[in-house]
Structure 1
Amino acid sequence: MHFFIHYLIVGKTTHIGALYQAFLKMHLTPKVPRTLSTLLLAYNTDLFGALTHYCIGHAAIYYGVGYVKL
């Protein structure tokens, strides 16, 4: 869910500011280990950087150079 909500929020900083704390709290309520929750959310937050060519500023470089196909 955290990954797919990025389509509704334009910027990465806005996405982290709005959702990271809420999802971390949601993970910690059923006693998921803190380190695992933090690392999984960080991984998903960085993963959507290459999701599309407009996700984050440097994604244009990934697509422009050809590292990731459009």
Structure 2
Amino acid sequence: MGTGQKRNKALVEGAERGLYQFKYEVASELGIQPPQSDYWGNLTSRDCGAVGGNMTRKMVEAYENQLSQTGGQ
């Protein structure tokens, strides 16, 4: 996907910066060297998928923990 074609937008206004940082943290945890240019198109699909999959897993886990603490209300 070329520059300027980004279609994914955060549902919560202002969350883009946090998600951006989160992506780099997850990549580092997985031992994937994040690109210096912020262009992820040169990484393999496997690496990008691993980052996205682990981001999703961690977000779901955090939400499940939040639900269990509030009693699911």
TM over 0.5: no
> Higher Cα Rg: structure 1 or 2?
2
| TM-score of the pair, normalised by structure 1 | 0.35
